[in-house]
Structure 1
C-alpha cells in the first residue's frame, strides 16, 4: 500500500534544431504541443479525500471499538482513528474497510463481488496512506494530464488500478487490500513506456531513463516489506506500461511541420515503424494478460499454486518479520 514515486517526463527537453535546444523544428517553426488543463487529477484527489471522510464516519471508533486501547484524536468525534496498535496509519478498522469494498479474494471469487476490483482503489488504510498516495498522484498525474489530456490519463489510472487488483487477488487470499497504489504505479509505468516509444523526440533521454528506472526499482523494492501489497504495485505497473505504448504515442519529430513541406521532403508516416510494432505488441499482451488474469481469478485459481517463488515479490521473510499469504 505504499505510494508511487514522483517524476515527470514533461521536464525533458524535446527536440533540437540548427538554432539550438528550444523545442523548435526547421528554424522558427514552433514544435510545442497543446497543454491541457488538469482537472481530472484534482478531482480524483478530492474524491479520495471525501471517500476517506466517509470511511471514518462509518467506522465511528468511539461507538464501535471494544478492543485494546482507546481511539486516537477523540476530539474528532466519530471521525477519530482506531488505536495505533490496531492501525498505525491513523485510519479505520479492517472490518470497516472490508464492509466498504476492500479487495478480498474469497468475496470476489465465491460471492460474485467483482466490483471490489474497482472499489478498493478508492479506499485507504489511513491518513498517512492517503497523503502519500495523493501527493504522488499530484506530482505524477498532473504532468501527464497536461500533456495527454484527461481521457487517456484517466483510462490508464483506472485500468491500471484494476490490473493491480487482479494480480493482488491472484496471489493474496488471506488478507484484504486497499489503496490507489496500483493505479499510481500504472501512471509510473506509462511514463516509462511513453519515454521509450517517443524516444527520438527527447533530449537527455539516457539520464531520464536511468532516473526513472531507479525510482521504479526503489519503489518496487519497498514493496517487499510486510503489510505492503507489492502485487498490486507490479500488476498496476505492468498494466500502465502496456497502456502507455498504446495511448501515449506521439507523432515522430517534425511530422506536424513536415505536412507543409513539398511532397519529396514531407515525412510519409506519422509514426515510426518501431512505434507501430510496440503498439501492436503492447495491445496483444494487454488483451491476453488481462483476459488470462480475469479468467484465472474467477475460476478460483491461486497464483502461488502456479508460481512457488512469486510470493517473494511481495514480502521477503527475515528474522524481524514473517510473511503469511
Structure 2
C-alpha cells in the first residue's frame, strides 16, 4: 500500500495456490493460452529430378542410335557430313534429321510382326525411348519438360514415373493394334499420358481449384490441338490416343488429393473442432472414380496385351478408325507402305529393293528382312 494509507486491501486466495499467488479481488482472469493451429501441408512440394533424368536418357539414347546408324558407311550420301558417323540420313529418307528405319528397328522400334512372331514384347517399352530424328526429339522433350516438371513438383517422382511408363505402354499397345505396316518410335504416347493425367487430376480434385473452368478450358484446348496435329501424315496418332486414355484413367488412381473441406478443417484450431464434425479426407465421387478407372485400366491393358500378342489387326474390326490417325485432304495423302509395291532380292548379307512405281533400286545391308522392314524400306524408296 502507499505510505500513510489507512485502507485495507481484500485478497482472494486460491485454494490450489500458495500465499505467493494471491490476487486482488476484481482483477482480470489470467489470459487463456492462444488457440493451437495445426500446420498442415497436404500438398508437399517435390524437387523434380526424374523428368530431367528422362530427358537426358532420351538424348543419350538418340546419340547412341546415331552412332549405330553410321550413315557415311552404310549410305554414303548424308546430311551434315561434318558430324562423321553421327551424320543424318538423307532428307528424302528421313526428313526429321535422324537415323534409318533399319537402325531404329535394331535399337528396338515398335514393329508388330516382331512382337507376334518373335515374341519381342520388350519393343512395347523400348520404342518409348527412341526418336525418329532431331525435330522429333526436341518436340517431345520440350513438351515433357513443360508438363512433367510441374506434375513431379506436385506429386513426386514415383507417381509421375509410373504414369509416364504405363501411359507409354498403353500408347504402344493401341499403335500396335492399328499401325501394323510401319514401325513406330517416340515418347509421344507417354507425354500424352501426362496430359491425360493432368485432365483427370483436375476433375477428381475439382474442389481445390480456384479458377476451375479456366483451367479446364485451357487444358482441353491444349489436348485438342495436339491430337489434331496427330491427324497429319507420318504421325502415329494411335500412340497419342492410347497414351492419353491410359494416362487419363491412371490419373484418377494416382493423382487423387484431399478435398477442400478436409484441407480447410485441418487448418482450423484444434479446440474449435467438435469430434463429430470431422470430415473425410476424400469425397465419395473421388472413391467412385478411383474404382471405375482402376477397373477399366486393368481390363484395357490385359485385353490390349492379349490382342497384340495374337496379332489382331484392329483395322479389320473398325473400318473408320484409320481416320483417327490421318485424315486425307487435297494437300496430302494418308497412304502407307501397304499401298506401294516393290520387288525384293536378298542374299546372305544384302537386300535389294526395287520400287515398281518409280523403278528406283537400292541395296540395304540387311539379311532376311522381316515383312515390316520390307514395307518400311519400300515406302521410303517409293516415297
TM-score (norm 1): 0.88
Give the 3-state SS of the residue equivalent to 1:58 in structure 2.
helix
Give the 3-state SS of the residue equivalent to 1:149 in structure 2.
helix
1:193 aligns with 2:200: yes
Corresponding residue of 1:264: 276
Distance 2:292 2:122 in 1: 29
Deviation track 1:183-214 (CA, whole Å, cap 9, x = no partner) reads 00000000000000000110111011011111
1:80 aligns with 2:67: no
> Does the 8 Å contact 1:258/1:265 carry over to 2?
no
Corresponding residue of 2:302: 291
Deviation, structure 1 residue 164 = 0.1
Distance 1:320 1:305 in 2: 27
> Does the 8 Å contact 2:79/2:88 carry over to 1?
yes
Corresponding residue of 1:220: 227
Deviation, structure 1 residue 299 = 1.2
Distance 1:159 1:300 in 2: 21
1:34 aligns with 2:41: no
1:174 aligns with 2:184: no
Greater RCO (CA < 8 Å, at least 6 residues apart): 1
Give the 3-state SS of the residue equivalent to 2:260 in structure 1.
coil
Gaps of 5+ in 2: 1-36, 337-383
Q: Which has the larger radius of gyration?
A: 2
> Does the 8 Å contact 2:129/2:187 carry over to 1?
yes
Gaps of 5+ in 1: 1-26
Q: Indicate the RMSD between aligned Cα atoms, in angstroms.
A: 1.7
1:245 aligns with 2:287: no
Distance 1:39 1:192 in 2: 23
Deviation, structure 1 residue 262 = 2.7
TM-score (norm 2): 0.75
Moved more, 217-226 or 235-244: 217-226
Deviation track 1:267-323 (CA, whole Å, cap 9, x = no partner) reads 1x2110010110000001101111111111111111111111000000111233222
Distance 1:172 1:257 in 2: 49
Moved more, 249-258 or 87-96: 249-258
Aligned mate of 1:315, from 310, 326, 336: 326
Distance 1:53 1:110 in 2: 30
Distance 1:266 1:99 in 2: 59
